[in-house]
Amino acid sequence: MSPHPWSPAWAIPSIPIRQWACLCLACLNLTIGCGRTPPAETVEHSIPQHWPADLIDASRKLEQFTAAIDAAQAQGGKGKGSDDFRRLQDVVGWAPEIAADSPLAESDWVPIHESSEKLSAKLRGMAWDAGAKAAIEAFRKLLIEKGELITPKDNPTDTSGVDANPSDAR
Amino acid sequence: MMILIGGLVRVFQGLVMAAPTLLTGLFIAAILRYYVGPALTRRLFGGDSLRALPQSWLIGMLLPVCSIGVFPILFELRRAKVRAGAISAFALSAPLFNPLSLLYGLTLSRPVVIISFALASLAMVTILGLLWDRFSPSQRDDEAEEGSTPTGDLGDLSGSGMAASNDGELIGLGRMLALVTFMARELVGESGKLALIAVGGLGLLGAVLPYSALQSSFEMHDPLAPARMTTLAIPVYATPMTAMSQLGMMFVHSNSPGAALALLLLGTGLNLGTLVWFTRQYGSRATATWFGSLVILVLAASYAIDRPLVLPGAEPAGHTHAFDNYAAPFPSGTRLALTTIREAAVKPFHLFEWVGAGLGVLLAVLGATLTISGISERSFRRSTRPKSALDRDIPPSVLGLTLILGLIALSVVGCYAYYPSPSECLEELTIIRTEAFSSARAGNVDQALLWVERFEDWSRKLEVGTFLRHWEVRPYQRMQGYLVRKKLELLEHELEHDPYEQEEVNKAVTALLDTDRRWRMSYSPK
């Protein structure tokens, strides 16, 4: 079979398929490694340190991170882009999951979900200023309001023997 | 020995996975050859117009084939002298999505992610197709030699789709028999050989990469993850549904979105057989340039989306089992008994794949018999036909297009069958849940793992089934489904933990109960 007429000047030099295959496998081994890896059963799911136990804890963590960002900024450090800011963003993003994993009704969950989406988008775009802090404060109040709807009796995770904080679950 | 067996297990799994979509591809190719004909095929793929590339992409999205099932169709497109750019667009996009996998994908993460992936694939095949067309101006005219056809034989070159020649014509029952003969001979012919090369890629990976070697290779924020996946995905063969479920696991584990895109575009879009096909048709230099451009485009797209598509608050799980099937199937030190090998080989498959594989074996036996006995499609030509007043010829192009539209309609109907109504899913889940939880609590690990996997599978079906019928899955339902799957995975880990601890398994089951109840309640009518 005749080769395809397309052979532009910048075409890659002809390399036989076998060599391509060897090259690809070599790249794969270089990037992934061919050593022995630990069996899957011994690798644990990593849970972030700042994962909140419940909505009230999430609200508390938001307050802590806000204060830490303010303090760092007052000393000339970074506001947006600091580790505390990233942790704050994480907690805002996790709030709907934490709320959904509680006995909150769907009608109570929806405002948390919507506010979390809006606040996450805002935090990506806006500077660390009074507006950002006001938005976080409003979100914190919402978390407290909804968190107080769940009494310890409602939350079976407190009595089931399973730790509320998933970081304690293996 | 273990390396060899590991590779063979992966090759076997690849063949079983590919069977249903390869048969579909053969059927479509036979329709293009004996009903639609080259002229109409060319028109169907946009001819020389500007819309050829997006049109080929769209047809590719609608046809339920994979990167192996696409081979017989590629031969027919080449034979019909379809534009090289359009062939490239079709070859890469047809395996990416089909109606089943697209619907499945829309329920993963945020729908915008899958829509972005689909649009990225359109942009990529368009750019690549334009490049391919621009630098191969004469490709349409002369070079679709006889030798480029899979069997180098027969068929209709008249452009009308009506198979007529001096030997007679193919019509009616004869044409239907020719269609089956074509499919059978092609399965043991060129398309079959390319399929073996394609699954050979899985065999190589199964032999080269140690067990679970890829479990933490594609973490979010790892700058090498998209590049690593691009390298891995070249020899990978994945069906659209396999890739989509792997994408689902990647989203759950917050893996790199760029790596997910690379897996979809290269792992699902092509395989080693595709490269061999392009090399045979266009020469190794042109193919190397085409492939190099493709890899650059995939890398560019993957790195472009890697950060923006990270979900707010995404928590990396640290590892995933999504890619275990691209590495050795046995941990080092496993004592290989026949039952261990058989269990590893057949574990991922359900009835659908086995029916496809069974039909594939039957067709391959028929193909081998026909080839050995020298019976080809030509044997079904008829020179004279008795005609009555009511016996009218329907143009084969009408029949062909009806068949292709019928196939698309069938795949839409298939979506409704594959993804049952929410009430049916919930009923099925009641049985699955009971089995999963009771076997986990009884310490019956193998049974529990089997039912947990079904639980996850049906949780997805419930979401897609709801989406299909109501065109919406509420965010709360989506979130509860996510939580159920997350906790099912924790249960899976406890079941596989070494040493096994029943108390931890019981805790994982208990943690699931309330989430599961809330999830079910979210689907009950208000």
Q: What is the ipTM of this complex?
A: 0.70
For B50, the token pair is 């500007």
Q: What is the DSSP letter of B525?
A: -
Nearest to A93 among B287, B312, B331 (CB): B312
Note whether A49 and B505 are within 8 A (CB).
no
B48: DSSP letter? T
Structure tokens at B190: 């060129």
Record: contact A40-B213, CB cut-off 8 A: no
CA–CA separation, B515 and B479 (whole Å): 10
- First-to-last alpha carbon distance for chain B, in angstroms, is 59
**What's the DSSP call for residue B380?**
G
Which residues lie across from B164 on neighbouring strands? B169
The confidence band for B284, taking pLDDT boundaries of 50, 70 and 90, is confident
Least confident of A7-11, A28-32, A147-151: A7-11
Structure-token match 């909140």, residue found: A52
C-alpha B57/C-alpha B38 separation (Å) is 19
Q: Are B255 and B320 in contact (CB under 8 A)?
A: yes
The pLDDT value recorded for residue B363 is 94
Q: State the distance between the two ends of chain A, measured CA to CA, in whole angstroms.
A: 60
The winner for highest mean pLDDT among A66-80, A101-115, A156-170, B250-264 is: A101-115
B227: left (phi over 0), alpha (psi -120 to 50) or beta: alpha
Cβ pair A97:B313 closer than 8 A = yes
Which residues 109-168 in chain B show a CB within 8 A of chain A? 132, 135-136, 138-139, 143, 145, 147-148
- Range with top average pLDDT, B72-86, B301-315, B396-410: B72-86
A contacts of B473 (beta carbons < 8 Å): none
- The answer, yes or no, to whether residue B47 has pLDDT greater than 60, is yes
Q: Do residue A110 and residue B494 have CB atoms under 8 angstroms apart?
A: no
Coil, helix or strand for A12? coil
User: Element (H or E) spanning B121, and its range?
Assistant: helix B111-134
B465 and B104 Cβ atoms separated by less than 8 Å:
no
**Are the C-beta atoms of B135 and A8 separated by less than 8 Å?**
yes
User: Which candidate from A4, A6, A161 shows the least CB-CB separation from B510?
Assistant: A161
Q: Is A20 on the interface with B (CB under 8 A)?
A: yes
Alpha carbons B60 and B269: distance in angstroms, whole number: 11
Residue A111 touches chain B, beta carbons under 8 Å:
no
Is residue B37 within 8 Å of B397, Cβ to Cβ?
yes
Look at residue B323 in the predicted model and tell me its pLDDT: 82
CB pairs under 8 A between A and B: 203
Between CA B238 and CA B271 the distance in angstroms is: 9
Residue of B285, B490, B511 with shortest CB distance to A45? B490
Å between A16 CA and nearest CA of chain B: 7
Assess A103–B contact: CB distance below 8 Å, yes or no.
Answer: yes
Does pLDDT of A92 surpass 80? yes
Residue B320 has pLDDT above 80, yes or no: no
Q: Is A51 on the interface with B (CB under 8 A)?
A: yes
CB contact under 8 A, A41 and B313: no
B352-410 per-position pLDDT tens digit: 788 889 999 999 999 999 999 888 877 777 766 666 666 667 777 787 788 888 878 88
Query: Residue B240: what residue type?
Result: P
Q: What DSSP state is assigned to residue B115? A: H
Chain B residues near residue A118 by CB distance under 8 angstroms: none
A52 contacts on B by Cβ (under 8 Å): none
Q: What is the pLDDT of residue A39?
A: 47
Asked if the Cβ–Cβ distance from B479 to A13 is below 8 Å, we say: no
| Residue B108 confidence (pLDDT) above 90 | no
Q: Which of A153, A101, A111 is nearest to B519 (CA)?
A: A101
Evaluate the omega torsion of the peptide bond into residue B499 and state whether it is cis, within 30 degrees of 0. Answer: yes
Q: Quick one: how many helices (H) and strands (E) in chain B? A: 21, 2
Tell me the C-alpha distance between A92 and B221, whole Å.
Answer: 19
The alpha carbon of residue A115 is apart from the nearest alpha carbon of chain B, in Å, by: 13
For residues B63 and B408, the answer to whether their CB atoms sit within 8 Å is yes
CA distance B232 to chain A (A): 6
The answer to whether the CB atoms of B235 and A97 lie below 8 A apart is: no
> How many whole angstroms from its chain centre is CA B258?
20
> pLDDT tens digits, residue range B24-44?
999 999 988 888 888 888 988
Q: Which of A6, A47, A62, A88 should be substituted to probe chain B, the one whose Cβ sees the most B Cβ atoms within 10 Å? A: A6
How much is the average pLDDT of A70-93? Answer: 84
- Proportion of chain B above pLDDT 90, given as a percent: 25
**Quick one: closest CA in B to A117, which residue?**
B312
Q: What is the value of pTM for the model shown? A: 0.72
Bridge partners of B169, per DSSP, are B164, B382
